[in-house]
Amino acid sequence: MTEALGSTATPESGRPEDEVATKKGRRGGKRGKKGPFGRLALFYRQIVAELRKVVWPTRGQLSTYTTVVIVFVIIVIGLVTVIDYGFSNAVKYVFG
């Protein structure tokens, strides 16, 4: 008997590695034991926690961003209007 007492070198001593691997791969845990309302409450708590991490813009930044978006939308509307007018005139010219 040359091996040390409690050695994990052989599967006979202590817990086998296969048993440890199957326990780690098992599903469940704290989330698996809660009912549907517990999981829903956890979900909403996580949402609130994430929203607290968000860096919200100041009033000045928000007005600047809003102005930039509105100006960009107006430019795109104008571009689409010009392209639509050109295509409609081209179709009228081709098909009479």
- What is the mean pLDDT for each group of 10 consecutive residues in the chain (96 residues)? 56 55 56 80 95 94 97 98 97 91
Contact in structure between 9 and 3 (CB atoms under 8 Å) = yes
40 DSSP assignment: H
pLDDT of res. 28:
57
pLDDT of res. 7:
53
d(CA 63, CA 59): 6
The radius of gyration of the chain from alpha carbons, rounded to an integer in Å, stands at 33
pLDDT of res. 10:
53
Please state the domain extents for the chain: 58-95
